[in-house]
Amino acid sequence: MRQTFPVRLGAAEEALIAQLKAAGADAAAERVTVAGLPTRRVESYHYTDLKTLLRAIPPLAQPANEASAPALRVPGAYNLMIANGVVQNASTAPAGVIVGKTAGGVLTTRDDMLVHVNGGLAREALTLTLEGSVDPVVQIERRIEGEAAHVADALKIFVADGATATVLETFSGSDAAHVGNHATYLALGKNAVVTHITVDLSARGVSHFATNEYHLADGARLRTLIIHAGAGLARTQLFPTMSGAGAHADLTGLNLVSDGQHLDITMEANHAVPHTTSQPLFKSITRGRSKSIVQGKLVVARDAQKTDAKFMHQGLMLSDEAEILSKPELEIYADDVVCGHGSTCGKLDEDSLFYLLSRGIPKAEAETMLVRGFIAELVDPVEDEALSEALQGVIDGWLLSGN
């Protein structure tokens, strides 16, 4: 008989357990008690050992008295806000947008600690129903205000059959050691077309965790863009499911990693039915003593014949001290599929750099031009001009900061 030993709990885990019990989430509290925070032994957290990285959990946030303006301004966007986990009053919604709220978490139950904790602590969720052709960008600002606080919040979006929409989520807040655990559930109806972009602009002392769950019906088309550019510790999890024939997902993301940061994008894409496609493309740019992680798994169900899915991660190292860790995976149970994965990592191309220098372009400017070219295929597909310019501004700000 195999003998089991209790997990040794740290201060962060003890604080989580107390908060979950106080919220009445006994099942989630028991889960933390038994398993603790994920360590390297948990495969999907092998490179992001939360037991080591997350040493403290601040008190649960108090309601924000007054939330600041969005950290990223997109002219013409329709703005909504969740501040310290509380849905704020919204202005009159544009045509095709129905705003509401509901109690509790929004994610499907799965064996993931961040999902368990969010479901146990999220008290209310912002709900959106998008119908027809939604013209303005719908921007949801998710802020943590005040002194260091722990926030779990939730967003649930339903996109009607045949509807089109662009949804932007931005994450920001005060300059304190917050811990944010954010959940987004996005369901696309038949033939719906959605662009979903999330941008982390949190302060460097923040630990930012986000879980995005997607469900695509017949003929639905989804494009995502995840940008990490703020928090010192960040992990975004993507769980897309192609559940309708003809569904397609372009899943993209970008880690902009500076000295001292640890940024992680982890994806598990599930092709559940025949005739679905996906094209995950993630990029990492690192400088200083930093670490970027990109993990991508493509799961093809037994009945999901004619699946076409290809995962790619490309890393660009701007310093010798940086680390880029990549783990592509295929889990295929069907036999009539076209699936593949790849990962590359390197420095700026010396020949291209020499060419620009020979044309009289200063070295710093030449390097910036090459980096922008490396990123371009992630931002160029964003059709809304104002949003595209705002995203480029985030990237340019990171490039110019140099730290």
What are the residue ranges spanned by the domains of the chain?
67-346
Nearest to 128 by CA among 154, 150, 151, 105: 154
pLDDT tens, per residue, the chain with 403 residues:
344 456 889 999 999 999 999 999 999 999 999 999 999 999 999 999 999 999 999 999 998 866 677 889 999 999 999 999 999 988 899 999 999 999 988 999 999 999 999 999 999 999 999 999 999 999 999 999 999 999 999 999 999 999 999 999 999 999 999 999 999 999 999 999 999 999 999 999 999 999 999 999 999 999 999 999 999 999 999 999 999 999 999 999 999 999 999 999 999 999 999 999 999 999 999 999 999 999 999 999 999 999 999 999 999 999 899 999 999 999 999 999 999 999 998 888 888 888 888 888 888 888 888 889 999 999 999 999 999 999 999 999 998 886 6
What's the predicted TM-score (pTM) here? 0.95
